Amino acid sequence: PNDERVLFGKAVALQQTGQLAQAVDYYRKVLARSPRCEEALANLVSIFLPNRDHKAVRRYAKMLAELQPESPVAMEALAALAFEDGDYPAAARYGHRLSELAPERFENWFNLGVAHHKTGDYEKAAHAYTEALALKADSVPAYLNLGAVRQELNSLVAARNCYEKALEMDPCQTGVLWNLALVLEQQG
């Protein structure tokens, strides 16, 4: 009962079998003995994030980020909280760091694009959406968002191309159809 490796193993087993409340208790016991246990902190974040317990996520993600500033788990959790709080500059900072840590992940670039889009930095949003599309060329939402920022930048031909590309993939996208209609109207 005093071996933190055994406690950690028990916590993981409980988490894997869906006994989350008991897993949390065991992870907390591990942290009481070893407050620098990154794995316990990361697992606590992964338990609390889907349950939308923002206070617990923030606590454990910040602790994890202090121990491991390069932790993708901490950055993703803090970015998700920033989005939830409507703090888009913070979401952009975390998103930028994530895109540096894992540039091969579509989600990192897409979310960075959304954060920049929300702050009104359309050039950076366009860059992030373009990077996302380089990784996943069949993403209708990425084409829609890239079209929207290009439309905001008054690059109507580029916006139209994005919307038409999205409609080729899914012709039933009413948001895309509406935005395309607006671009066509602007183009006369």
Query: Which segments of the chain does DSSP mark as H helices, in order?
Result: 4-16, 20-33, 38-48, 54-67, 72-85, 88-101, 106-119, 122-135, 140-152, 156-169, 174-187
Q: Global pTM?
A: 0.85
Please list the pLDDT of the chain residue by residue as tens digits (188 residues). 778 889 999 999 999 999 999 999 999 999 999 888 999 999 999 999 888 889 999 999 999 999 998 899 999 999 999 999 999 999 999 999 999 999 999 999 999 999 999 999 999 999 999 999 999 999 999 999 999 999 999 999 999 999 999 999 999 999 999 999 999 999 99
Question: Which residue pairs, CB below 8 angstroms and at least 24 apart, start in 82-85?
Answer: 82/115, 83/111, 83/114, 83/115, 84/54
Q: Please, which residues have CB within 8 angstroms of residue 132's CB and are 6 or more apart in sequence?
A: 106, 109, 110, 113, 139, 142
